[in-house]
Amino acid sequence: MELIDKMFSGDQIALARLITILENQSQSVPEIMKAIYPHIGNAYLLGITGPPGGGKSTLVDELTSIIRRKGLTVGIVAVDPTSPFSGGALLGDRVRMQKHYLDDGVFIRSMATRGSFGGLTNAAKCVIRLLDAFGKDIIIVETVGVGQTELDIIKAVDTVLVVLVPEAGDTIQTMKAGLMEIADIFVVNKADREGAKQMAGELRTMLNDSQKQTYWQVPVMETQANNGIGIDELYAEIEHHRDVLLQTGNLSVRRRRQRESELAEIVERRIKDKIVERIRKEGKFSVLVKKIADGEIDPYSASNEIFSDKEVLRDCFL
Amino acid sequence: MSERDVPIRVLVAKPGLDGHDRGAKVVVKALRDAGMEVIYTGLHQNVDQIVATAIQEDVDVIGLSILNGVHIPISKKLLKKLKEKGVEDKTIIVGGLIPTEEDFEKLKEIGIDGVFPTSTPFDTIVAFIKEKVG
Ligand SMILES: Nc1nc2c(ncn2[C@@H]2O[C@H](COP(=O)(O)OP(=O)(O)O)[C@@H](O)[C@H]2O)c(=O)[nH]1
Ligand SMILES: [Mg+2]
């Protein structure tokens, strides 16, 4: 594919076009992934998640400045939710990242969740791989930490920052949203506001009670992203996490686990797509759906019918 | 025109120095509500920044929101830069206060695909984009 060669030669237009192809989950995704896979694994992947308005994009902007000063290049994937009503999306993360627009060492791409089951997760992972193959040293993924999709993307990175702000109820929300389990570093941003110290303290207590790994105690950092305060310390902590992962061999363990679920997802999706397409074509799907709706059969028995249909299985898998 | 099954991507940029972006934000919302993915970049964008963003985001449409009567030089500069960078497949539209009929015609002449003065109903803009890109 000509685009791939161009991308490898450093062409940003080709890179951007390939991202579009991956994002649209077009037919040529396998071809692209095959071509780029030998070139991946060199980038360090950083995920930033948390509730909307917490200052994630501002933090990404500040961290990017630090990384650039160290002479490393950055790829940014900023994900925002698709409106379930219109299918459109407002992608506004760039507003906070203006100072990097003209830096050739920074590539920013905004993506919408587009709402298809696992669709974005898969597309975003492909885009991360592509930026890695393109040669970016550090890839930062920003998502709004509310939905399963967003959490799934974040699970595909090396270091996860969960960004919270000192507002009532946040602490409890955190536990609920499952953000607790995925955080490698907690950030209490907007530390200029009242309640930040207290919130950081509460988080620390909670984390002490539930240390999840023997090799890493999740730290709580306080930042003021819009004033650039606490960012150097935060970046040092990110580097520290990376070093610990490397020294303990846990980086490769973690990445191996990610590859494992990636393969499982691809296989699952292919099986599902094939079977659903096959039974839809025949009208069998709608017959079963009607039976379920009419209360004649339950969904589990209906799926048994599909999986015991030798013809369907043969058409799909042989 | 074939119906595409992925959302149209639009960059809404606000070049120049005027101090607010209420108008641009209203357009952004209208386009989103029409099912488009709208990349918004905030105030005071220069042409180089707009071009870099349009490239990285691989948008279908670049929409300039201009209030301060510098449409023609900015549009000219944008088209020139895009050409220099080898980007020639974008639909370019300009909205805002277009002072005279003459300016309106001039913008079309230099290669702006669609010109929409502030009074244009959003439906018209949406329909134009869908016709061009969809
Ligand atoms: N007071 C205060 N405001 C901040 C801080 N960091 C970011 N903000 C503001 O919070 C708002 C949301 O920031 P943004 O980065 O877009 O948040 P995101 O939605 O999490 O990406 C913006 O108006 C920022 O200027 C901070 O440390 N203190
Ligand atoms: Mg953001």
CATH code, B25 = 3.40.50.280
B1 lies in some domain: no
Ligand nearest to the CA of A230: 1
pTM of the model: 0.92
Is residue B55 a part of any domain in this protein? yes
Q: Are residues A268 and A242 in the same domain?
A: no
Using CB distances shorter than 6 Å, the residues near ligand 1 are A 52-58, 93, 96, 189-190, 192-193, 224-226
User: For residue B67, what are the domain limits?
Assistant: 9-133
Is there a single domain that holds both residue A244 and residue A268? no
Query: Is B128 inside a domain boundary?
Result: yes
Residue B1 has pLDDT above 50, yes or no: no
Q: Identify the domain boundary among A189, A217, A248.
A: A248
Q: For residue A89, what are the domain limits? A: 40-248
The pLDDT tens digits of the residues spanning B13-71 come to 988 766 677 778 889 999 999 999 999 988 778 999 999 999 999 999 999 988 777 78
* Per-residue confidence (pLDDT) for residue A119, from 0 to 100: 63
Query: Does any domain span residue A237?
Result: yes
One domain, residues A217 and A273: no
Is the residue at A35 inside a domain? no
A102·B38 Cβ contact <8 A: no
pLDDT band at A205 (very low <50, low <70, confident <90, very high): confident
Average pLDDT over residues A111-140: 87
CA of A121 to the centre of ligand 2 (A): 18
List pLDDT tens digits, range B69-89. 778 889 999 999 999 999 989
In a domain, B2, yes or no: no
Domain boundary among A222, A248, A274: A248
Q: Look at residue A301 and tell me if it is in a domain.
A: yes
CB contact at 8 A, B57 and A109: yes
| Contact at CB, B28 and A107, closer than 8 angstroms | no
Supply the pLDDT for residue B3: 53
- Provide the pLDDT for residue B2: 44
Q: Are B121 and B130 in contact (CB under 8 A)?
A: no
Q: What is the pLDDT of residues A209-246, one digit of tens each?
A: 877 778 999 999 999 999 999 999 999 999 999 999 99
| Residue A25 within any structural domain of the chain | no
Taking residues A69-88, what's their average pLDDT?
A: 94
b/e per residue A13-40 (b: at least 16 CB within 10 A): bbbbbbbbbbbbbeeebeebbebbeeee
Burial of B22 (0-12, 13-18, 19+ CB in 10 A): exposed
For residues A161-181, average pLDDT: 73
pLDDT range class, residue A173, cuts 50, 70, 90 = low
- Extract the tokens encoding A127: 């885009």
User: How is residue B114 written in tokens?
Assistant: 């669609």
Total domain count for chain A? 2
Can you tell me whether residue A138 is helix, strand or coil?
A: strand
Cα–Cα distance, A269 to A117 (Å, whole number) = 10
Quick check: is A65 in a domain? yes
**A189 and A218 together in one domain:** yes
In a domain, A177, yes or no: yes
CA closest to A75 among chain B residues: B56
Give the separation between CA B69 and CA B97, rounded to whole angstroms. Answer: 7
Say what the pLDDT of residue B122 is.
92
Rg (CA), chain A: 22
SS (H, E, C) B28-86: HHHHHHCCCEEEECCCCECHHHHHHHHHHHCCCEEEEEECCCCHHHHHHHHHHHHHHCC
Q: pLDDT digit string (tens) for A13-25? A: 999 999 999 999 8
Closest chain A C-alpha to B107 CA, distance in angstroms: 26
* Number of structural domains in chain B: 1
Is residue A238 domain-resident? yes
Residues of chain A with Cβ-Cβ distance to B41 below 8 Å are 94-95, 98, 101
Q: Are residues A235 and A295 in the same domain?
A: no
A161 vs A170: CA distance, rounded Å: 16
Answer yes or no: is B3 within a domain: no
